[in-house]
Chains A and B, each alone.
Chain A
Amino acid sequence: MAATDTTATGTAPPVGTSEDLQAALSRVDPVRKRKDRAMRLVVYLAFTLAMVPLVSLVWSVLSRGSGRLDAYFLLHSMRNVFGGMDAGGAYHAILGTLLVTGWAALISVPIGLMVAVYLVEYGTGKLARAVTFLVDVMTGIPSIVAGLFAFALFYLAVGPQKAGIIGSVALAVLMTPVVVRSSEEMLRLVPNELREASYALGVPKWLTIIKVVLRTAVAGLTTGVMIAVARVIGETAPLIITVGMTASINRDVFHENMMTLPVFVYDQYGRGLTSCAPGAVDCVPTINFDRAWAAALTLIIIVMLLNLVARAVSRWFAPKVRG
């Protein structure tokens, strides 16, 4: 008895077999053991609990959206489609989304990249600290506020109107901090030895940055930009108030309403059920919901593709060590 007592309290074991020792050491207080089991259960439960809605979401979009998602849907607009007509697609919305997001990228990528260059290569002192801080703050701007800003900006400049470019500005406000963050991270990964080697060869700083630093980091930068694009491509609220809606194709980002994919989802949902006349052929009462789900699936596929390609880029084009 005395021997086990001393083992339990952890002092050096007296004479005893090694099995005794092992058993004593690995014995866990049953209360602690039960707690461990309980917590494991809780963690597993949390995981399952969280998976239920997420799986349900993905499943709903897949099962309800895949029915209408075909080449016709992707390549036709909604012009002249009304009521329960079994026709119409999301082409105009996909095009609008690409144009609006493309312009947003065109605005935000150069700025974001230069800000990152500034922070990494030049930034010292108060301004750099202020910029770092404000970029963080900008990351938290709600998308609807970005939309209001773009609206207010253009309202003062050209009066009340809607156009793709206004939405692009709103998205650019949301996108720039993301580009800055990821680019900054990538530029900091470029080893200083490369810069120093370049300086030692007499290459000026600006050329070093362009030819050495940015080139080395190009894979990471591309990935960062694509993920930033993926993040804003699904934004809805700022586009509702700045870009508006239309049923026809509009390729001009500077004039008139444009449809975008997220707004198309919202708009089709908002159109609700249609009543079909008794005996009407070619009339689907739930057509608007069907289109909404199909567009949602399209949107998810685009976002997923962007993410996947971004990852592939970072893997394939990562700088390789040459022999």
Chain B
Amino acid sequence: MKRTYASITLVGLLALSLTACGSDDPTGTGTTGADSALSGTLNGGGASSQDKAQQAWIAGFQQANSSVTVNYTKSDSGAGRKGLLDGSLSYAGTDSALTADEINDSASACAGGQAFDVPVYISPIAVAFNLAGVDSLDLDAETVAKIFDGTITRWDDPAITADNADVATSLTGPISVMYRSDDSGTTKNFTEYLSKAAGSVWTYEVSSTFPVSKDTFQGLNGTSAVVQGIQDGSGTIGYADASGIGDLATVKVKVGDEFVGPTAEGAAATLDASERSTEGRADNDIVFSINRTTTEAGAYPVILVSYLAVCDTYDTTAQADLVKGFLTYVISAEGQAQAASAAGSAPISEALRAEARNAVDSIKAKG
């Protein structure tokens, strides 16, 4: 019997010592600078496209505020917005701005206030593929649309070979299309590009669920699954946020007379050519209507602008301060640079940052 108790004690001690000696500082940076007054847990969630940037922001913010824990649960934009509106999340990452209905519904979650959007993450959506012997493809918007609606089913289709004569011999076999099976802002931005830039071919509605269902297509759950699918197969093609595609080859799309690949600069150029959408929106609600048909030199129009949706009023001061602190960091030059290095996104411009700063400063606690 003694041995039983001894072994139980031993196991207990082992477990206890294990719980005591772990470190929450794997990067060895510790806390830099003076410790802030902020503390607590901030729960956000939503778009998986900005997940990599979120991890970078969270790391930077937590380093500056050591007693704060921020959790970002990546799922999809719709879930993020729903989470904000039902109060289970304090902020939402979303690839499409809040709708007018959602803003109207936000009073109960926002302590009588309103929810609004802040653009924080501008990233190219890459059309990535895996085809032996081909490193880059030049395609126009119509051809991309035809591939993704299933009209073009083989790599040696004349529409593809016409612009890619140099690799024509490698262009063989059937095309397997990978798409997002979940509700996705990436899908919404990608289909919006197709319907604006190739409206004659792509007649589907813009939607966050991929509209085409063909048995040669495979839907996969989340950005990384799509990328993994493209990589595992051969003759595969799909779309994903450029931060997640690893070293897969990408399509250069036709803009004006040029073919442009997915780069942060190209994304920024497109946003510069786009306009604010102000209709039915409050002043602090910064939302863009992206110009998908720009012919600006070097602009890459397949981009997504990802927002943080937050409330302007929170129940408690602690929560309001956390959200405000986090967002202030995210839109700061430092935060934007952090995201650019982690996710390859385009930093938001100086002017936009000032505007966003004003909006963030309006966040307050109830009462």
Contacts and interface: CB of A to CB of B under 8 A. Distances in A.
Interface of A: 72, 75-83, 85, 87-89, 91-92, 94-95, 98, 102, 160-161, 215, 218-219, 222, 244-251, 256-257, 269-275, 277, 285, 313, 316-317
Nearest to A286: B246
B71 A275 contact: no
B341 A277 contact: yes
Interface in B46-70: 51-52, 55-56, 58-59, 62-63, 69
Nearest to B223: A272
Contacts of A256: 41, 43, 69, 71
A270 B56 contact: no
Interface string B311-349: 000000000000000000000000000000111100000
B28 to A, nearest CB: 8
A275 B26 contact: no
B343 A83 contact: yes
Nearest to B56: A82
A270 B27 CA distance: 22
B25 A79 contact: yes
A72 B25 CA distance: 11
B86 A160 contact: yes
Contacts of A222: 4
Given A275-B243, A316-B3, 10 more contacts: A76-B23, A77-B24, A82-B52, A83-B343, A87-B27, A91-B23, A218-B4, A270-B225, A273-B244, A274-B244
Contacts of A76: 22-26
Interface of A, secondary structure class, is loop
A94 B73 CA distance: 20
B7 A313 contact: yes
Contacts of B244: 272-275
A272 B228 contact: yes
A305 to B, nearest CB: 11
A275 B245 contact: yes
13 contacts: A78-B26, A79-B24, A83-B52, A160-B86, A160-B88, A161-B88, A250-B69, A256-B43, A269-B224, A272-B228, A272-B244, A313-B7, A317-B3
A98 B63 contact: no
B26 A79 contact: yes
A257 B43 CA distance: 9
A269 B221 CA distance: 12
A82 B58 contact: yes
Contact of A83 (B43, B55, B245): B55
A77 B52 CA distance: 18
Return the 5 tightest CB-CB contacts between A and B, nearest first. A272-B224, A82-B55, A273-B246, A76-B26, A91-B22
Range for the number of chain B residues in contact with chain A: 35 or more
B101 interface: no
B59 A82 contact: yes
A249 B71 CA distance: 12
A75 B22 CA distance: 5
A116 to B, nearest CB: 18
A269 B245 CA distance: 14
A125 B292 CA distance: 75
B247 interface: yes
A80 B342 contact: no
A161 to B, nearest CB: 7
A122 B364 CA distance: 63
Contact of B224 (A79, A247, A273, A316): A273
B243 to A, nearest CB: 6
Contacts of B15: 98, 102
Given A270-B222, A273-B245, A285-B247, A80 B3 contact: no
* Residue among A87, A91, A269, A285 with the highest chain B CB neighbour number at 10 A: A91
Nearest to B61: A80
B1 interface: yes
Contacts of B62: 79-80, 248
Contact of A244 (B7, B18, B73, B86): B73
A314 to B, nearest CB: 12
